[in-house]
Structure formats: C-alpha cells, structure tokens
Amino acid sequence: MTYRTVSCAYCPPTVRACRQGESDTRGPGFCPSKVDPGGVAVGSSRYDDPFVRDVAQASAIVESEGYCRWTRVEEIVQLAKRLGFRKLGIATCISFVDLAHTLSAILESHGFEVASAACKNGGVAKESIGVRDDQKIRPGTYEPMCNPVSQATLLNHAGCQLNIVLGLCVGHDSLFFKHSDGLATTLVAKDRVLAHNPIGALHLADTYYARVWGPDRPAKPRSQPAEGRSNDSPS
Ligand code: SF4
Ligand code: SF4
C-alpha cells in the first residue's frame, strides 16, 4: 500500500534503517524517505543557514563529548559556550524559583549573564483570559494566570540568546517556545505526578499507569500505522 503519513513510531527494532543511512532502500513504506522525501530535502536545506548549521554542529559535538557523562545542566552550559552566547534566560514556574536561583548561580559561575522570569510575572488574574472562577484550582481565591508570553517577551527584551525552561506546564511551555526569540531548551518538564519525570508514564503504560490509555486501546501492540491497519490481525 502507499502511505501518506510519516510514522516512524511504528518502525520495527529490526529495521530503523536511518541509523545506517539506508532508509532509502530498507525503510518501511511509512518511512519519511518513502512518504515525503521532499520534506527530508527541505529540512536538510535549512542547515545551509549558518546559524542553524552552527547550532546543529555544536549540539552534535556536545552530545558526543559528554556522552553519558554530562548532566543536562552541563550540556546546556557547554552548548551555550560553544555557540559563543553571553546572555541566557530562565523561564521558570513560580514553584521552581528556588531551583531557578541555583541554576542562575551555576550559569553565572560559568561567566554568563542571566535573566530570569517567573510564570506569574505581572500578577494578571486568570479571569483576564476567560477562566471562570469555578475553573480555577481554588475557586473563590485570587489566582494569577501563568504568563509564558510575557516570560518570553521579558527574556527577549533582555537579549537572551538561549532560554531554559524550568518546569513550565503543558501548553504554557508551548506558548513560551512559540514566543521566544532566542533558542529555547527544556531543563525540567513539569509532571506533578511523576516528580517531573514524564517518561515514567510511557515506561509503565502497560502496568501502573495503564490509565493513560484511551478507550480504543488495542488488545495487543499494533504493527502498522493507521493507514496500514487492514494488514494487522484483528485485536
Ligand atoms: S526514518 Fe525510516 S528507517 Fe528511520 S525510524 Fe523512521 S521509518 Fe524507520
Ligand atoms: S501554571 Fe504551571 S508554570 Fe505557572 S505556576 Fe502553575 S505550575 Fe507553575
């Protein structure tokens, strides 16, 4: 069959041919090299931009130099140094300000200038974005909105070249990334249940966190993406 949707998530462990540079020949029918080679080519051409190329190159070198030795904090420091950045930003959850203090001090100890903005900056009431009182965490109380667009604006005004997200919520982080002028990376992804280790829900999706599945959970793992399901045995 002819696939129209790239679906690397279904690539069998025995294939994953891109790792050997052989996806053109050995990739499955839903491989990007088969479904959208033009997309791969357009993506590749974007590395002709000198800045994009520099970031990609520095990232690859940081990955290899510190492989399984550097923490993510150290990787961020090294990436910023290799790119010649002077000014870094921290976009922090208000609950993580103490950790932002530690991070800011670490970054300063490496010679960077650091700006930081908490998500509640401005203290704007949630009602201003149409959140009703009964939709708040604690109805009947004053709750300031999380303000990631303002966080990004403040760090943009400060001239931050690389912004580090510290515990912003789902969606709030999305708005921050969308509005940040500088590059942005996540140090901590907010997950209140899993101690900010969201991958736990995937590792334990068949056991303790089986509740993450929707009503159409298959009885056994699918071998094909949706377009090729007719080839699957019924589940
Ligand atoms: S790019 Fe192709 S070969 Fe690589 S994981 Fe995706 S489908 Fe598999
Ligand atoms: S909305 Fe999210 S980022 Fe903002 S204070 Fe609450 S938990 Fe922190």
First to last CA, the chain: 21
> Over the stretch 95-128, which tens digit does the pLDDT of each residue have?
999 999 999 999 999 999 999 999 999 998 999 9
Quote the CA–CA distance of 72 and 76 in Å, as a whole number.
6
How is the chain split into domains, by residue range?
A: 1-46, 49-78, 85-217
Residues 206 and 212 sit within 8 Å (Cβ to Cβ): no
* DSSP secondary structure letter of residue 196: T
CA 80 to ligand 2 centroid distance, Å: 26
32 C-alpha to ligand 1 centroid (Å):
7
- Residue nearest to ligand 1 atom 8, measured at CA: 16
Q: List the residue whose alpha carbon is closest to atom 2 of ligand 2.
A: 169
Backbone dihedral angles phi then psi of residue 127, each to the nearest 5 degrees? -60, -25
pLDDT, tens digit, 9 for 90 and up, residues 192-218: 999 999 999 999 999 999 999 999 999
Total-model pTM:
0.93
Q: Is there a contact between 117 and 155 (Cβ–Cβ < 8 Å)?
A: yes
CATH entry 3.30.2000 includes domain 85-217: no
Residue 18 CA to ligand 1 centre (angstroms): 6
Q: Tell me which amino acid residue 170 is.
A: V
